[in-house]
Amino acid sequence: MRSMFAPTLALVSLLALPALADDTDKKEPEPKVRCAIHSKNGSRAVQGSDLIVKAGEKIKDAVAIDGNITIRKGAVVEDVVVIQGKVTIEEGAEVKGDVIALGGDLVLKGKARVDGDVVALGGSLRMDEDASVGGKQSSLSINLNGKDLARSFVDKALENSDCRLSFGDDEKE
């Protein structure tokens, strides 16, 4: 199986680049950025909103920054990457490649299937008993002085920009 990690990481980096820009003029915070991109190759990327891959849809890559991804029963996706959001793969959904959640949870329900690796960094990996993963399963969440290390890293990277990420600590599921 061909790994799609590099192209997916490049797409995520491109979307995150404006967040790392330094703006010396301190202005009032602007409303949360929300955008969605549908590429010609069948990939979808969102920022500041949720992405739902519906039953019967087949897409290449699904990417979300500061948003969640839900893959419904009967949907097929190549690779999934979420930064500061949650990935939910419902029963009967299939991911042909890898699933990566940075700063969020990764949930596989029922008979959800991932053929590649699953990684949850700064969040938890929760799998139902019937869910299957063909590759490696990795989950790492480190708290330092009561604060998640991955979230601290993102906060530090953005401290000199106008961009802020909300972590949804007060939101209920």
* Residue-range domain boundaries for the chain: 5-13+34-143
The encoded tokens of residue 86 equal 């949650």
The pLDDT value given to residue 20: 47
Q: Which residue has the higher pLDDT, 76 or 36?
A: 76
Is-contact 120 106, C-beta < 8 A?
yes
The arithmetic mean of pLDDT across residues 153-158, rounded, is: 66
Residue 112 to residues 46, 60, 65, 158, Cα–Cα distance (Å) = 23, 18, 23, 35
Q: Which of 157, 151, 99, 149 is nearest to 126 (CA)?
A: 99
Residue 173 has pLDDT above 50, yes or no: no
Q: Give per-residue pLDDT as tens, 107-144.
A: 999 999 999 999 998 888 999 999 999 999 988 877 66
User: Quick check: pTM over 0.85?
Assistant: no
Is-contact 36 44, C-beta < 8 A?
yes
Residue 159 has pLDDT above 80, yes or no: no
The pLDDT value given to residue 141: 77
Indicate the pLDDT class of residue 170, thresholds 50, 70 and 90. Answer: very low
Partner residues linked to 143 by β-bridges? 148
Is residue 57 exposed (0-12), middle (13-18) or buried (19+ Cβ within 10 Å)? middle
Q: Give per-residue pLDDT as tens, 49-108.
A: 999 999 999 999 999 988 999 999 999 999 999 988 999 999 999 999 999 998 889 999
In whole angstroms, what is the distance from residue 79 CA to residue 156 CA? Answer: 28
